Amino acid sequence: RPAVARPTFLVLRDAVARVRPGAGPAAAEEVALRLWSHAHGLVSLELAGLLPGTPGELETRYVQALRAVRL
């Protein structure tokens, strides 16, 4: 089942739609996919032990990466 049909993705898509009320459903889905992909990649790397840094540095990295996704 594609990510866009999963309940957790739908929560993210709906949150994006709330903060971008002027954008249509397709735009909210596109931004949500970008956020989902960024977060998934970072989590996968962290779980594999491939992201160096302290917990604080990792948190900063997550925040910076997700801010880089244009809403």
CA–CA distance, 28 with 71 (Å, rounded to integer): 9
Supply angle C-alpha 5, 18, 11, rounded to 5. 30
pLDDT tens per residue across span 12-41: 999 999 998 888 999 999 999 999 999 999
CA gap 58, 63 in Å, rounded: 9
Query: Taking all residues of the chain, what is their mean pLDDT, rounded to a whole number?
Result: 90
Whether 51 has a pLDDT exceeding 80, the answer reads: yes
Q: Count the domains in the chain.
A: 1
Give residue 28's domain range.
Answer: 3-67
